[in-house]
Structure 1
Amino acid sequence: MLHLFVNPAAILNQGDGSKHTFTAEDSGTADAHVTIRAEEGATARLLGGVPVTDFRPVTDPAVLARLEPQARAHVRVADLRAAGVADCGHFSRRGFSCKITPAHLELFYGGRPMTVAQWPKAGEFTRIAGVVDARASEWSEHVGDLAGGFHYAGDRPRRWAPNDNLWIHGYWCYDWANSYERVTRLDVETRTIETAPRTASTPSSPISASTSSISSKS
């Protein structure tokens, strides 16, 4: 089987471990194209990433303080810059009524994408406890405005370190309209979350304490 790695691009033959790095000199010309294919009977995969190795236990006290005590010994860290990754991209608004934007980089292990740190756990959600500015919808439902803020239950966010890159994913009012939104204010005393206002082309979404469910990512 052949593997093709890009940025830098390299082709790896799993049979004998041989590896070749491709540069501009290998790109051919308009009159002489270069074709890269697997050997007869083999399968080729194009992977747009680079291997990340040298994972080590976390030793930074500030990072350890953010982790649950029972998890600290099991978390590993690696230097992405040493692996040639200088730009990881960034989170952006996406989902229902949002423009399509390039995604941030992902980490894969054993062929599976790893989950970004979040609460509750992947696949789980918590419900909105109430809205800041309640109003009646066109169907006489008790709703609020997403940008106006909402309340959550519990004190888990008290343990979160200050973070200007906190995002939430939610089904804010209807089970067919979910989106990822950036948190602009987290008040752990009043248990209130506010999100970045939307543009005129993507008006704010209604939210409902009775039907909404959310998860946070950072």
Structure 2
Amino acid sequence: MFTGIIEGIGTVRKIVRRRTSHRLTIRSPFSLARVKLGESIAVNGVCLTVVARRQRSFDVDVALESLRVTTLGELGQGSPVNLERALRLHDRLGGHLVLGHVDAFGTLTKIKKYSKGPRSPTEGPSRLWRSKGPRSLIEGQEWQITFPPRLKKYILTKGSIALDGVSLTVNAIKGSHFSIYLIPYTLKCTTLKGKKPKDRLNIEVDILGKYVERWRAKSG
């Protein structure tokens, strides 16, 4: 289980393509000294198991099904990836509960830049608006993302959602798309800064909505 608070941006160093899976070697920006074999790491929001570890890089195996239903199949050598180690019981839950099980692809359809943020910016992992140094605001962004209709019942205005593993807050929903605000800190510290219209993202809806749906189905 994860929180959607990205710990760092890794880099895909090598991809070994096999019949039933791909093995990714990923360089980590943080020390892996305390990471054990068999532990989980979220890579762009996908929960994967560490099968080999070195001081600054690790290997994970990605099954063909995961390659098919997530954007991991689009990665190449040199691709940046969001990394988060699994949540520990004594950690703070700064974002929301993220399982690392991607529900669907979303497509980024529109990016609107702004130099002044919304009056009440609500976003999981980010609180910093001003850059270090001169007291001037850096541009943030508003994104519009399309999603499959089957997910609409789980996506709520001001509710939580994970995009490529990043915990975010839904600003508004209209038809088959929703919008989010990205403040400069999030853009700086995640791979989202490199996204452009027509790019696909991994979507994981809030697991609490699924539990509520299951409870209502059984009690009804």
TM > 0.5 fold call: no
Higher relative contact order (CA 8 A, sep 6+): 2
Normalising by structure 2, report the TM-score: 0.32
> Structure 1-normalised TM-score?
0.33
Higher share of residues assigned helix: 2
Larger Rg: 1
Higher strand share: 2
